[in-house]
Amino acid sequence: MLTVWGRATSSNVQAVMWTIAELGLDFERHDVGHAHGGNKTADYLAMNPNGLVPTVRDGDGAPMWESAAIVRYLAARYGDAAFWPRDPAVRVQLDMWAEWIKTSFVPVFTGQIFRPLMALAGSTPMQPGQVQAATDALKPLALRLDKRLGDGPYLGGAELSFADMIAGHLLYRYCTLDFDRAVTPSLDAYYARLSARPHYRDHVMVSYESLRTRP
Ligand SMILES: N[C@@H](CCC(=O)N[C@@H](CS)C(=O)NCC(=O)O)C(=O)O
């Protein structure tokens, strides 16, 4: 049994929860973080010194944090050869995109567009032209992902994999937030494909309106 600490509205929790659901694993989830609090207590910090969500334990195993590390653990331990290719030469071709989305796409989209437009707690007030500059910077990245997705229905090609968990969960926010996006037919088709998956709808397509601090 997996225990997950983290609120359903956290996108990093969503990546983990979607993975758990796609793998058909038993879990219990505790609402922690943001309005729920509970992530700065001594007990929580003993599990996760960052005081962030998610934190996960598999049975009585050691606590795990960092959502992408947790997704990789679950995929390696419980996934089949399509979800977690055993050959490192095959797996790295997927993992490149998983790393890229976290290190290239997220800082621009989440850091410079989603957080300021939603005025999330802790985000700095927007400067004139800031969001336009960020949307301009994001367009070539979205086009790069679009090109990759033209090669197959999923990031790894024919079948769903751990890389889709790490990249795909971001697309609910990317595709539903009101801002100026690049024209990306393959990316849009990928998002439509993910949206048709019941586990994606249950765990990722979760309203983020409660996070907004400004209309
Ligand atoms: N790199 C970490 C980031 C974790 C993170 O920033 N979590 C956010 C929610 S998405 C958080 O804990 N925010 C504080 C809160 O919810 O109280 C991961 O991928 O797990």
pLDDT per position as a tens digit, 96-113: 999 999 999 999 999 999
Of 53, 67, 102, 120, the residue with max ligand 1 atoms within 8 A of its CB, to mutate for a pocket test, comes to: 53
For the entire predicted model, the pTM comes to 0.96
In the numeric block, the tokens 């694993």 are attached to 25
- Quote the ligand 1 centre to 36 CA distance (angstroms): 13
7 and 36 Cβ atoms separated by less than 8 Å: yes
Q: Ligand 1, atom 13: nearest CA belongs to which residue?
A: 52
Return the bridge partners of 58, or none. 2
pLDDT tens, position by position, 14-44:
999 999 999 999 999 999 999 999 999 999 9
Q: In the chain, what are the domains?
A: 2-78 (3.40.30.10), 88-211 (1.20.1050.10)
Which is the closest atom of ligand 1 to the Cα of 52?
12
Q: What is the pLDDT of residue 121?
A: 72
Which of 6, 161, 199 is CA-nearest to residue 76? 161
Kindly tell me if the per-residue pLDDT of 49 is higher than 80.
yes
Q: Ligand 1, atom 12: nearest CA belongs to which residue?
A: 52
Complete edge-to-edge strand list for the sheet that includes strand 64-65: 27-30, 2-5, 55-58, 64-65
Pairwise CA distance, residues 41 & 37, whole Å = 9
pLDDT tens, position by position, 112-161:
999 999 887 777 777 778 889 999 999 999 999 999 999 889 999 999 99
Q: What is the pLDDT of residue 215?
A: 64
Integer Rg of the chain from CA: 17
